[in-house]
Structure 1
Amino acid sequence: MTDNNSTHFGFETINAQEKAGRVKAVFDSVATRYDLMNDLMSFGIHRIWKRFAVELAGIRRGQRILDLASGTGDLAARFAGLVGPEGLVVMTDINAAMLNQGRIRMADEGLVGNLAYTQVNAEQIPFPDNSFDCITIAFGLRNVTDKQQALNEMQRVLKPGGRVLVLEFSHPQGKPLKTVYDLYSFKLLPKIGKVVANDEESYRYLAESIRMHPDQETLKGMMEQAGLERCDYHNLTGGIVAVHRGFKL
């Protein structure tokens, strides 16, 4: 249990003010191998999870989309095609190294006209109220120090009628799957990180941060507390990942 001045960094309890810097160091370390590691550690299934989230987002031409914790831009690239030249996708990350990798990738793919880039802390979103038709955060909320504050901010900058989507690792349903998943996460995943990214510790943090993230029902309740309505979630791959969705009515 933590007080208002402390938080979790994986299984470690630290001063809340330290977390952003610790998370930054993790993603500085893995930025250049991030996409490769995603493919390896999920056996490519992360692409299916993201495709499902994009479908749930219901993006239409001309809309304004805020993608928080964009990383290298898997969701943002899809959104850019959906909103068309009259729309806008704002691609953000708290980590400059990750955001730069995303910018390079978007340029390489020729996606330049309707994309903007901003370094953003999800707890302090620098946009006015009611600015975006859809807000997404994929595999980033668990790294945020104050998750409730981030959800509050998403609700604030979302337009009435818009939706928030949170794609995140969650809690597997059923003991057999949980047993296998724990074995993979704590034994195999750090070793893959060591071989491919030369960084065992960052991927040990990844496994620990997933376990400390709120379960499906708790996160749904946090979204409702933020003022989002009609909140629901969809378990993917047995609950290893979940997509949470909420609306601003």
Structure 2
Amino acid sequence: MDARLMDATFSRNQPSDARRLYDDRAIRYDNSWHPRFARHMVELARIHSGERVLDLACGTGLVTYPAANAVGPTGSVVAVDISTGMLAQAKAKQADHKHENVQLLQHSVTDLQSLLQLQGETFDVITCVSALVLLERPYEAVKQWATFLTRGGRMIVDVTHPESQISLITFERVGRKLGRPVPFYRVPFQSPDDARRLLEDGAGLRNVVVHSVSQMDIEGRDDLQAYLSDIQHPRIEQAFTIGDADRLFDKHITDWAAQSLANDDIKQKARAVFREEWVKLADASGQIREVDEVFVAIGWKQ
């Protein structure tokens, strides 16, 4: 996307921003760790036969169809996404799906109350996978979602560890400081307790548990157990130095998430702020670690 268009493109309207970003990424989205991670989320949610599932920000259906397989013909899955491109990929998979228990809906997940197909409906499980950090007001979102849960039902969401994908969260901090839109909101989630509080205080759920899950591929392993990690000692992906700041800035400035900072009028100022924020991440030896960890929170409605 042309950086000159970013001020117009990132309108500070979350549903519109998500639609544009993911329409562009849709055809490539499954060529990543996302399919395996989605399967692991379905396993952690312990979805079983006969349940009704609401899959929010369903994307290409990576959670939708494993969930549909889990609930079987006596259950159902309603999947909601704002992106035309992502839903097109999900619909293409529907022809190969053996159950006719999936309904795909195009709508913003931040305004479910206005979705006619959901009025009066409740679900045993609500999932939102690899998407919560795209929401500007996550507490408001999960509070609304919880109204669609049955008593005894559960919600599963994930938020990225603050030291994972560390260049991107640094760009988020730069964008906030410079008043430029960056289409994700990871900074508020700094610990497992932040994920727990989101479901407890935001959604009013109880008995919340938080798992630590790795995303990057582990050679020869595809099972969930291999990707569960010690929440206090996450898997180290790589390490950087303070001197890597400019290299990483140049590498990622044209990425989909940072392009609002790539215009000529802001780029050098953004570089300077990136350096400042990068230095803050270093330990006493000047090392900056990048981990591979996501906090997965599951809570129950009483």
User: Is the pair's TM-score, using the shorter chain for normalization, greater than 0.5?
Assistant: yes
Say which of 137, 152, 155 aligns to 1:161: 152
| Secondary structure in structure 2 of the residue aligned to 1:212 | coil
Aligned AA for 1:116? Answer: Q
How much does 1:139 deviate? 0.7
1:121 counterpart = 2:85: no
Structure with the bigger percentage of helix = 1
- The alpha-carbon distance between structure 1 residues 111 and 92, as it changes in their structure 2 partners (threshold 3 A), is farther
Q: In 1, distance between residues paired with 2:169 and 2:301? A: 38
Change (3 A) 1:130 1:114: closer
CA distance in 1, matches of 2:18, 2:85: 12
Q: What's the counterpart of residue 222 of structure 1?
A: 198
After superposition, residues 77-92 of structure 1 pair within 5 angstroms as 77-92=65-80
CA distance in 1, matches of 2:36, 2:122: 29
Q: Helix, strand or coil: the match of 1:89?
A: strand
Q: Which runs of 5+ in 2 are unaligned?
A: 1-6, 171-181, 215-233, 235-291
Q: Please tell me the residue identity of whatever aligns with 1:241.
A: V
Which residue of structure 1 aligns with residue 140 of structure 2? 149
Are the equivalent residues in 2 in contact too, given 1:80–1:111 (CA < 8 A)? no
Deviates most, 153-162 or 122-131: 122-131
Distance 2:62 2:162 in 1: 23
| Residues 56 and 129 of structure 1, relative CA distance in 2, 3 Å threshold | farther
For the 8 Å contact 2:159–2:189, the answer to whether it is kept is: no
Stretches of structure 1 that go unaligned for 5 or more consecutive residues are 1-11, 173-177, 188-204
- Please state if 1:182 is matched with 2:166: yes
Inter-CA distance 152–211: structure 2 relative to 1 (3 Å threshold): closer
Cα offset, 1:50, TM superposition: 2.6
Contact 1:169/1:241 (<8 A) preserved:
yes
Report the counterpart of residue 104 of structure 1 in structure 2: 92
1:28 to 13, 23, 35: 23
Aligned counterpart, 2:296: 243
Among 47, 61, 65, which residue is 2:49 paired with? Answer: 61
Q: Give the letter aligned to residue 231 of structure 1.
A: V
Deviation at 1:147, TM superposition (A): 1.0
CA contact (8 A) 2:159 2:195 kept: no
Q: Give the secondary-structure state (helix, strand or coil) at the position aligned to 1:161.
A: strand
Measure how far apart 1:211 and its partner are.
Answer: 4.2
Q: Do residues 139 (structure 1) and 130 (structure 2) align?
A: yes
User: What is the TM-score normalised by the length of structure 1?
Assistant: 0.72
Q: Distance in 2 between matches of 1:88 and 1:113?
A: 9
Once the two structures are overlaid, the 10-residue window that deviates more, 211-220 or 155-164, is: 211-220
2:43 matched to 1:71? no
CA displacement at 1:102 relative to structure 2: 0.7
Code of the aligned partner of 1:31? A
Contact persistence 1:128–1:157 (CA under 8 A): no
Shift of 1:28: 1.5
Alpha carbons 1:67, 1:75 under 8 Å: kept: yes
Query: Which is higher, the Rg of structure 1 or of structure 2?
Result: 2
Once superposed, what is the RMSD of the aligned Cα atoms? 2.7
- Moved beyond 4 Å, runs of 4+: none
- One-letter code of the match for 1:77? Y
User: Which residue in 1 is equivalent to 2:187?
Assistant: 212
**Secondary structure, aligned partner of 2:58:** coil
Q: Secondary structure at the match of 2:74?
A: coil
The aligned amino acid for 2:62 is D
TM-score (normalised: structure 2): 0.60
Structure 2 CA distance for aligned equivalents of residues 93 and 119 of structure 1? 5
Structure 2 CA distance for partners of 1:103 and 1:213, relative to 1, 3 Å: farther
For 2:169 and 2:11, how far apart are their aligned partners in 1?
25
CA deviation string 1:13-46 (max 9, x = no partner): xx9852322222111111111112xx1xxxx3x4
For 1:63 and 1:246, how far apart are their aligned partners in 2?
A: 16
Once the two structures are TM-superposed, the CA of residue 240 in structure 1 deviates from its matched residue by 2.2
TM-fit CA distance, 1:170: 2.6
Is the deviation greater in 234-243 or in 69-78? Answer: 234-243
User: Alignment identity in percent?
Assistant: 28
Partner SS, residue 299 of structure 2: strand
Deviations 1:59-95 (A, max 9, x none): 1211110000111111111111111111111111021
Q: Which AA in structure 2 matches 1:222?
A: L
